[in-house]
Amino acid sequence: MTLLATVLAAAPAVPYDKAGRFVAAGFIVLFATLLVYVLIMATKLQRLERELADLDAELQRRERAGRAAAAGGEDGP
């Protein structure tokens, strides 16, 4: 809170009238666009992780099958 009070005290007279709202709108547009981009990337990343998990599960299944086959071969005559 002290830090915030210090920052606000150092701020020049920021007009909260029409001009201030327009400037704020400009920056909000930028950061909202960035947020949307990050959300899209997060969705794509989740999809990649799901596919990686599928591949990992398949690989583990094959490794288990390979080990079982090898163990079966050793037990044989």
Partner 1 sequence: MHAKGLRALTLATLAALTVTLALVVFYAPNDADQGFIQKLFYLHVPIAIVTLVAYVVAGVLAYKHLRTDERRWDVRSYVVIHIALIFNILGLVTGAIWAKASWGHWWVWDEPTLVSFLIVFLLYATYQPLRFAIEDPERQARYASVFAIMAGAFVPLNFIAVRMASSLVHPRTFATAEGGLPGEMMLVFLVSLAAMTLLFWLLVKYEIAHKHATWQLRALRRRLLGDDAVAPLGRSAAPAIVPEAVGRRADAPAPAPSISPSDAPGAAR
Q: Which spans of this chain sit near partner 1 (rule: CB under 8 A)?
A: 10-12, 14-15, 18-20, 22-23, 25-27, 29-30, 33-34, 37, 41, 44-45, 48, 51-52, 55, 58-59
Nearest-approach distance from CB 74 to partner 1, in angstroms: 26
Tokens of residue 4, six digits: 């915030």
Nearest-approach distance from CB 76 to partner 1, in angstroms: 28
Nearest-approach distance from CB 23 to partner 1, in angstroms: 5
Residues 6 or more apart in contact with residue 58 via CB below 8 angstroms: none
CA angle 71, 75, 77 (to 5 degrees): 140
Q: How many angstroms separate the CA atoms of 67 and 64, rounded?
A: 5
Q: Based on CB atoms, which residue is closest to partner 1, 45 or 68?
A: 45
